[in-house]
Amino acid sequence: METSAQSQAPSRKLTTSLVLRWVLAGPMAIIFAVVSMAAMPVWFPRGAAGVDHLAFALISLPAWWALAFFYVLLEENMPRAAIVLIAATLVKAAIAHSSGGW
């Protein structure tokens, strides 16, 4: 007969995976999108009026969010998704911070 610890192991793993997916696709995706938007004026060229690098950063916020959100939802390996999303966020935060944006 199965012990209660053996029957709860798959359930605990599933719950942990769902919680990690929820955290990465929800709050972490928004943080990634905002940090990407903050770093975008550094590498996006200025337009003739001098505001294109700011306007396109604001307009692209939903695209950055969707990229992170769907990546997390479609990725089967949650630890790898966490590492990729956190690393990308930290790199973009370093870019935004080095330019004096923060």
Q: pLDDT tens across 46-70, in order?
A: 777 777 777 888 899 999 999 999 9
What is the domain extent for residue 84? 19-98
Domain membership of residue 89 (yes or no) is: yes
Domain membership of residue 3 (yes or no) is: no
Domain membership of residue 58 (yes or no) is: yes
Domain membership of residue 12 (yes or no) is: no
Domain membership of residue 2 (yes or no) is: no
Structure tokens that stand for 80 in this block: 């790898």
Residue 100 has pLDDT above 80, yes or no: no
Residue with the bigger pLDDT between 100 and 44: it is 44
Question: Per-residue confidence at 82, pLDDT binned at 50, 70, 90?
Answer: very high
User: What is the enclosing helix (H) or strand (E) of 79?
Assistant: helix 78-98
Domain membership of residue 48 (yes or no) is: yes
Question: Per-residue confidence at 28, pLDDT binned at 50, 70, 90?
Answer: very high
* Cβ–Cβ < 8 Å for 81, 75: yes
Domain membership of residue 35 (yes or no) is: yes
Count of domains for the chain: 1
Structure tokens that stand for 38 in this block: 């903050």
